[in-house]
Chain A
Amino acid sequence: MKRLLLATAASALVGTMAFADGHAVKVGVILGFTGPIESLTPNMAASAELAMTEVSESGLFLDGKVIEPVRADSTCIDAAAATAAAERLISSDGVVAIMGADCSGVTTAVANNVAVPNGVVMVSPSATSPALTSIDDNDLFFRTAPSDARQGEVLAATLIDNGIEEVAVTYTNNDYGKGLSDSFISNFEANGGTVTINTAHEDGKGDYSAEVGALAAAGGEVLVVLGYADQGGVGVIQSALDSGAFDTFALGDGMYADSLLETLGSGLNGTMGTVPWSQGEGADAFDQVVAAAGVDGSTSFTRESYDAAALIALAMQAGGEATKEAVAANLLDVANAPGEPILPGELAKALEILANGGDVDYVGATNVELIGPGEAAGTYREYVVKDGEYETVRFR
């Protein structure tokens, strides 16, 4: 009897807890708030939450429900910590979908260990490893960032077009760095370029002179650094500049950060690189939306983050319910044609169309078009550093 009473009391308690916040729909935001890309993630999270706020404030989302973001730390590098954080989001916070994770390694771990077994959709704004294209995801993993298979192609083309034929390559020793360097090298060599050496560097070391010594011995016109701006990548460049081993660098997207310019100053002049970017109506609309909200949207992956969050919300609206099944079933439909094109700042319009049974084609800040197993096709910005500033050369 006593046990029955206890059980009743307990279930009543759980019941009230669930109902107390009945009109809020929780969506997880799992990004590396600590770790190698901690300088990028605050703006990414703010952009994603901006899309959620826009949806909530419209009052049109599932008859006046609001989206409540729940943040968790992926750490970018520690798969165990990221898995535990995602586990918490799903079992304790009860999120219906996850915006994240960020770095490729932890994203793979979270997808395989938590999201897919629980049937929860993940939309990553920044995991770019080619390996994620082929994971066994039951159609639950999407990304608004393009695969590095494409970035390798673009970076190789950038160098070839600049008349560079011989390069040394160093990459950060993880899934992201390895994937990008493989793709870059196969494309570069296919286009007639030569790679003199391809070597990994570990993040978080004090001294990279040995690595740079090996790279310099192998030689090359340009040093291609596929690492992180907050980590080993900057150390390698600093050491290469100090020892006079290389003057010109080519950088992958993880190296695009203002902090890099601040640390290295004029030494970077002439450096080229690629970063997923977007232009046109969507990007302009996004700039207006972030400016109005006071969010800094100029850093990497903010657009992708906004789009990822918007897609999750629109998928729920299309399914007519705030469940993980609704997100999984409708995400591709709202992302791709046919339907009314939707730009950033027009989420209210999209919600209304969907509520009336219409069809939308979310364009968003990055011209979202999910191809293959649900990943962005992607446009890249080719930049060059001039007088200590990033300068756009063209979009590819």
Chain B
Amino acid sequence: MTDILNAFVLFANFVFVPGLAYGAQLALGALGITLIYAVLRFSNFAHGDTMAFGAMCVILITWGMQAMGISAGPLPTALLALPFGILGAVALCLVFDRTVYRFYREQRAVPVVFVIASVGVMFMTNGLTRLIIGPDDQRFADGERFIITARDFKEMTGLAEGLAFRTTQAITIVVAVIVVIALFRFLNHSRMGKAMRAYSDNEDLALLSGINPDRVVLYTWIIAGALATIAGTLYGLDKSFKPFTYFQLLLPIFASAIVGGIGNPVGAIAGGFIIAFSEVTVTYAYKKFVSYFGWETDGLLQLLSTDYKFAVSFVILVLVLLIRPTGLFRGKVI
């Protein structure tokens, strides 16, 4: 019995808990992508760097708060700074919408033009972030680091395996749940949310029924900017903030959105967790796990070396596009 418990604690410590937190971060990122795709009808490549920019705003404000002695007790100060960071990222999104995307909207440009424009915006945001905060690792997490450490867990339960649960992992999961609930309530029940969905379904009909397209676009950017900042900050808190890692996150985020069905918010969340768990489970070595079931082996029982972590999301992306281009939850066809 203890063996089985040990096996599950081991699995939870190295696969389930990290996968859950990573999945929540991907899901929040994928929601932003999917929203832009649904309403504005293009794949926003700048989203990863918007996350970096938003997280950077949060970090700068966090530092300011720390200097003034404001803290959130056991929670990271960054949570207090989050609303201000969101303002920064939203402002950036709106500036780029005014200066870049609006021009192409008025031209009624085809989606691929928007995509390429967003690549340009990505490089500009990228450069802006590096100019302001630099390309290096920044640490801004404070407060209690652990809810329970591996060592305490071992002592408490008497098991051979420890289970570490970091505060940032808990915050990530809790915040993601709150944000998702709020977003769905907004989309399904508020007047603006319904207008956005109508605009997404059929632009011309929506315009005929008196929906103001400028306001729809405005709200979309506000929500996308907020989601990006929250996702970016949670990722930075849980792992570390480095502008380049956000650029790398773009692939798993897009994979999440597409696997779930791009343009479909439920799909984005499911996709985030699917991608996260496949990355972690495929690259985990099960040697120790199976040894608790009495199966001793010399091999590592690892399907893929961890070097191929990003390849996993890429393979899933390709498979989904080949077999079911609409994604699992019937999004739009890219």
Contacts and interface: CB of A to CB of B under 8 A. Distances in A.
A243 interface: yes
Contacts of B42: none
A206 B238 CA distance: 9
Interface stretch (A99-107, A156-164, A178-186, A214-222): A214-222
Nearest to B150: A244
Given A197-B300, A242-B164, A244-B162, A210 B280 contact: yes
Contacts of B151: 244
B244 interface: yes
B248 interface: yes
B71 interface: no
Interface string B297-312: 0001110011101000
B285 A218 contact: yes
Given A217-B286, A243-B150, A202 B13 contact: no
Contacts of B166: 242
Interface in B127-168: 139, 146, 149-151, 153-154, 162, 164, 166
Given A211-B306, A214-B285, A243-B13, A204 B244 contact: yes
B287 A218 contact: yes
A206 B239 contact: yes
Given A204-B245, A244-B151, A244-B164, A214 B13 contact: no
Contact of A205 (B245, B300, B302): B245
| Residue of A200, A207, A212 most packed against chain B (CB within 10 A) | A207
A235 interface: yes
B242 interface: yes
A299 interface: no
Contacts of B289: 217
A204 B136 CA distance: 9
Interface in B213-253: 235, 239-240, 242, 244-245, 248-249
A174 interface: no
Contacts of A201: 306
A213 B283 CA distance: 9
B300 A206 contact: no
* Interface size band for A: 20 to 34
Contact of B288 (A207, A209, A219): A219
Contact of A213 (B150, B164, B285, B307): B285
A199 B14 CA distance: 17
A58 interface: no
* Interface size band for B: 35 or more
Interface string A225-266: 000000000010000001111000000000000000001000
Contacts of A211: 306
A108 B279 CA distance: 35
Contacts of B240: 206, 235
A234 to B, nearest CB: 9
Contacts, number: 91
Contacts of A202: 307
A173 interface: yes
Interface in B245-289: 245, 248-249, 279-280, 283-289
A214 B284 contact: yes
A35 to B, nearest CB: 10
Nearest to B312: A210
Contact of A199 (B139, B235, B305): B305
B18 interface: yes
Contact of A243 (B164, B280, B306): B164
Given A199-B306, A243-B164, A209 B242 contact: no
A207 B286 contact: no
B28 interface: no
Contact of B149 (A204, A216, A244): A244
B125 to A, nearest CB: 18
Given A206-B245, A243-B13, A217 B307 contact: no
Nearest to B13: A243
Given A207-B22, A210-B280, A244-B13, A217 B306 contact: no
Interface string B159-183: 0001010100000000000000000
Nearest to A207: B239
A205 B248 contact: yes
Contacts of B154: 244
A263 B139 CA distance: 10
Contacts of B146: 242
A243 B14 CA distance: 7
Contacts of A243: 13-14, 18, 150, 162, 164
Contact of B307 (A200, A216, A242, A245): A200
Contact of A217 (B162, B249, B287): B287
A217 B164 contact: no
B239 A217 contact: no
Nearest to A200: B307
A173 B307 contact: yes
B89 interface: no
B195 interface: no
| Residue of B279, B283, B287 most packed against chain A (CB within 10 A) | B287
B15 interface: yes
Interface in B49-89: none
Contacts of B162: 243-244
Contacts of A173: 307
Given A200-B307, A242-B164, A209 B285 contact: no
| Residue of A199, A201, A263 most packed against chain B (CB within 10 A) | A199
Contacts of B22: 207
A200 B306 CA distance: 8
A217 B284 contact: yes
A277 B170 CA distance: 44
Nearest to B285: A217
27 contacts: A199-B307, A202-B307, A206-B248, A207-B22, A207-B245, A210-B18, A211-B306, A212-B14, A213-B280, A213-B285, A213-B306, A214-B305, A217-B284, A217-B285, A217-B287, A217-B289, A218-B288, A242-B164, A243-B18, A243-B150, A243-B162, A244-B13, A244-B150, A244-B151, A244-B162, A244-B164, A245-B14
Given A206-B240, A211-B306, 11 more contacts: A197-B300, A205-B245, A206-B239, A209-B14, A210-B18, A210-B306, A213-B280, A214-B285, A243-B18, A243-B162, A244-B162
- Sorted nearest first, the 9 A-B pairs with minimum C-beta distance are A244-B150, A217-B285, A206-B245, A213-B14, A206-B239, A244-B162, A214-B285, A209-B18, A207-B239
Interface of B: 13-15, 18, 22, 139, 146, 149-151, 153-154, 162, 164, 166, 235, 239-240, 242, 244-245, 248-249, 279-280, 283-289, 300-302, 305-307, 309
